[in-house]
Structure 1
Amino acid sequence: MPLLRTTDHKAPFWLPNGHFQSIFPALFRKIKDVAYTREQIITPDDDFLNLDWAKTGAPVSKGLVILSHGLEGDSQRQYILGMVRALTRQGYDCLAWNYRSCGGEMNKQVRFYHSGATDDLDLVVQHALLKGYGTLFLMGFSLGGNLTLKYLGEQGTLLIPEIKKAVVFSVPMDLLACSRAIEKPENWVYLKRFLSSLKPKVTEKSKVFPDHISVGDYAKVKTFYDFDHIYTAALHGFDGADDYYARNSSKFFVESITIPTLIVNALNDPLVPAESLPQAQIAAMPNVWLELTQEGGHCGFRSETLDNDLYWSEQRALDFLENNKS
């Protein structure tokens, strides 16, 4: 299947580059008309996950969309809320789940979440099946996109038949390349934001698990690679950052995906270099599409003009789910 480079998405002229297109929605888009119902489920290791449900209210839905957020995100991020609103308006129920330590509540175990923690995603999927859903769709953003693709690839031909399609946006399919990209001087604002968000979690964890995690080591963290090498890898059983990246980058799993899957990345994404995407590999696949837009930034994709406050990415997802439009 050939790669798709779209020309129908055009950002507003006042968002002239990938940085503006990434930051503006994150800071200024406000969505207040999504009402969640929260449910907490217990994990096999006696931890918990907070799940936020949004349902259409119709007697019969078109299925359930399970949404996975990005790094240090949660179910309240504008890209999640916007997509949930768009989907529920079109008859889909939604389940936006929060990773361990995300969603406003610290988890109980020493582990956090990471880019390849598909055991938790599988738990959410199995829980959805217990609710009686016979049609499921997976959707992920940034880290959640990598998580979704890895899960689909791991499952391969054993993927449950209830999962029909998947759509992911702004995916760091090569974790090492993206970790190094965030070190670039022009990306310091993203690096600072992520590390500032993670430090309080490390501090809190170190008080509960002083034998496993030391906040004193945070002084050594200057880059995201450092954080993954010192904390992520150690807490989740990997032999350093390189091992963690190699074992969890979705580019190593995508060839085993068996369902129709749409991957959308912007060529001007400041955090995901286009050259890090396995373009030739995906081009040979019959059921996976890599769509590269000229604009959009990282989880941005604000349209030049808005119809009912619908972003281009939200309309694109609907088109794919409903029409398999590629």
Structure 2
Amino acid sequence: MNFKPSFLLKNRHLQTVYASLFRRLPIKNFEIEKFRLSDGDFLECYWQKIDNHQKDTPIVILFHGLAGSYKSPYVQGTMQELKEAGFSSVVMHFRGCSGKENLKPRSYHSGDTQDAYEFINSVKKRYPQAKLFAVGFSLGANMLLKLLGERKSDCILSAAVAVSAPMLLDVCAAHMNKGFSKFYQKLLLKDLKRDLDKKYDKFPMQKLIHLKRSDIKKLKTFWAFDEAYTAPIHGFSSAQDYYTKSSSRQFLKFITIPTLIIHAKDDPFMPSDILPTHNEISPTIKLEISEYGGHVGFISGSLFHPEYWMEKRIVKFCKTFLE
């Protein structure tokens, strides 16, 4: 099931932004769960169950990308495809990503596996007879791969899929500050800086991270933002320390469950040398690397009649573990 786009969809930027610009998905009636975390904070998890959900209905947990949410086209499209195939699904929003501010000065980051671990365990306790799967996109994919490697054989998932994971965070952060990738960096930083600014209304942020509120606008790169906020608020000594400890590539050899990694060599968010070599991955990992696909794109069909290959591939992979 190799990914091959039509000639007009071979452009990496078109693959990356096509769905955001041209895809209109109806926002479904989600069942919203407020999930309490062990540190007193909360996550909002948006469920979409099949009509005749049973106690053994398979469940797929989705982890969105940086500044993503249930509104992201790749999340909605995947949930729709899963529902049609008989899976119930839930998108776990990282702290503060559902539109409701979280209760702590801290936020979320690429290597923050604890919240996801707590939520996965909670779902398993509620549905002990259901097979559980997880799908991560971009930042969520890096987090998921790290989680799978950390937990090794303790993992309670049946299988997992990681799409467009930034497996070496420092390399990706440097790459985002070059050429046209700066455009994506600027868009994503706008959301991150807005959310950080709001935290100054509720918390003594200047005392906590030694950054004046007026200096937030001076943070022009991911590296600067992570140095100023992500690293200190989450207990890292620097942005480099955060990137080194949170990059998922070093965890791949410890993964014990069937895991599909979907990646495009032309991803504008990262160079292809972030990809692992075959001796860095465990035997349970299936690497599917395509020449084209952009970042969380993978759109086949034609420009006016697109087909969302990635979503179909995710469903096909998960279905193989239902027999």
TM range (shorter): over 0.9
Provide Cα deviations, 1:108-155, integer angstroms capped at 9, x if missing partner.
Answer: 101000001111001110221232243100100000000100000010
- 1:13 positional shift: 3.1
Output the CA distance in 1 between the equivalents of 2:260 and 2:238.
31
- Rounded Cα–Cα distance in structure 1 between residues aligned with 2:37 and 2:168: 28
In the other structure, the counterpart of 1:3 is none
Q: How far has the Cα of 1:219 moved from its partner?
A: 4.1
The alignment status of 1:194 with 2:196, answered yes or no, reads no
- The aligned residue for residue 150 of structure 1 is 146
RMSD: 1.8
- Residues 37/59 of structure 1: CA separation in 2 closer, same or farther (3 Å cut): closer
Give 1:89 deviation, angstroms: 0.6
- Which residue in the other structure is 1:231 paired with? 229
Contact 1:170–1:272 (8 Å) recurs in 2: no
Pick one of 92, 100, 108 that aligns with 2:103.
Answer: 108
* SS in structure 2 of the partner of residue 253 of structure 1: helix
Structure-1 residue corresponding to 2:43: 49
Residue 45 (structure 1) shift: 1.5
| 1:60-97 Cα distance to aligned partner (Å, 9 max, x none) | 36411000000011122000000000001111010101
Q: Give 1:27-46 correspondences, 5 Å limit.
A: 27-32=21-26, 34-46=28-40
Stretches of structure 2 lacking an aligned partner (at least 5 in a row): none
Q: Distance in 1 between matches of 2:41 and 2:203?
A: 15
Shift of 1:319: 1.7
Please tell me whether the aligned partners of residues 64 and 133 of structure 1 are also in contact (alpha carbons under 8 angstroms). no
- Between 38-47 and 163-172, the greater mean CA deviation after superposition: 38-47
The letter of the residue matching 1:189 is F
1:138 corresponds to which residue? 134
For residues 267 and 117 of structure 1, the distance between their equivalents in structure 2, rounded to whole angstroms, comes to: 26
- Alignment-mate amino acid for residue 314 of structure 1: E
Give the alignment partner of residue 314 of structure 1, picking from 311, 316, 323: 311
Distance 1:279 1:26, change over 3 A: farther
1:293 aligns with 2:290: yes
Q: In structure 2, what is the equivalent of residue 212 of structure 1?
A: 208
TM-score of the superposition, structure 1-length normalised? Answer: 0.91
Q: Which one of 259, 265, 287 corresponds to residue 261 of structure 1?
A: 259
What is the rounded CA distance, in whole Å, between the counterparts of 2:21 and 2:291 in structure 1?
22
- Residue 300 of structure 2 is aligned with which of 298, 303, 308? 303
1:80 equivalent in alignment to 2:78: no
Deviation at 1:202, TM superposition (A): 1.2
In the TM superposition, what is the alpha-carbon distance from 1:34 to its structure 2 partner?
A: 3.2
- How big is each residue's C-alpha offset from its partner over 1:21-80, in whole Å with a ceiling of 9 and x where there is no partner? 101112221111633110101111211100000011124364110000000111220000
Distance 1:133 1:272, change over 3 A: farther
SS in structure 1 at match of 2:266: coil
Residue 119 of structure 1 corresponds to 114
Shifted more, 215-224 versus 104-113: the winner is: 215-224
Q: Which residue of 2 aligns with 1:97?
A: 92
How many percent of aligned residue pairs carry the same amino acid?
A: 37
* Equivalent in 60, 64, 68 of residue 65 of structure 1: 60
Aligned-partner Cα distance in 2 for 1:290–1:35: 35
Letter in 1 for 2:232: A
Structure 1, unpaired ranges of 5+:
1-5
Q: Tell me what 2:269 maps to.
A: 271
Amino acid at match of 1:269: D
Give, in whole Å, the separation in 2 of the partners of 1:50 and 1:17: 35
